[in-house]
Amino acid sequence: MDALALMLTGLSDLSLYFRFHAGVGRPPRPALLLRMLCPSGASWIATRDDTVVGHAMWAWAVGSPGTAELAAVISDPEQRRGLGVRMLAIAAADAIAAGATHFLFVVSAANDASLRMVRRRWPDATVERDGGLLVFRAAARVPAQDNPLKNFLMSSTSRSGASSAAK
């Protein structure tokens, strides 16, 4: 938990806001870290040189059976290098294996990089505006990736009874 807290503490205010859509304290509250590390689906961290540089997760969407919400946050220096897409691909494959038929992405309308990524990787996604957020819903599939990444270690941080939660 401490390593993830350290990564989140080092994020810019904008990166924190784009991931959580709200203010997050520094250091982040233990309850937030626990939800990130132990979701209703699964989560992963990426490290480089023993430092956490990314986190991705999926969780079952409440009230929408078979729908998994995917999310990722990448440290500012590692952004726009493909790590987020790689981590989301891992989360997507795991969610599909657990029974997900659809994905949900909640993205700030101001987060151009994430909006482009979702639209490029899931071009058939439908979108609805919810205030300052755009909520994308897409058929569950693993996104294509541009480049294989090197020098990162991906580690699963949690695994819940995912397949039973999908029903």
Q: Which residue has the higher pLDDT, 155 or 126?
A: 126
Report which residue type is found at 161.
Answer: G
Query: What's the order of all strands across the beta sheet hosting 67-74?
Result: 126-130, 133-139, 102-108, 67-74, 51-60, 42-48, 153-159
Q: Which residues pair with 154 in a beta bridge?
A: 46
| 117-126 residue pLDDT tens | 999 999 999 9
Q: Topology of domain 2-157, per CATH?
A: Aminopeptidase (3.40.630)
Q: Which residue has the higher pLDDT, 134 or 145?
A: 134
pTM, whole model, 2 decimals? 0.86
Contact 1, 45 (CB under 8 A): no
| 60-119 residue pLDDT tens | 999 999 999 999 999 999 998 889 999 999 999 999 999 999 999 999 999 999 999 999
Q: Which helix (H) or strand (E) holds 125?
A: none
Report which residue type is found at 153.
Answer: L
Q: Where are the domains of the chain?
A: 2-157
**What is the average per-residue pLDDT within 120-142?**
96
Q: 3-state class of 167 per DSSP?
A: coil
Q: 3-state class of 80 per DSSP?
A: coil
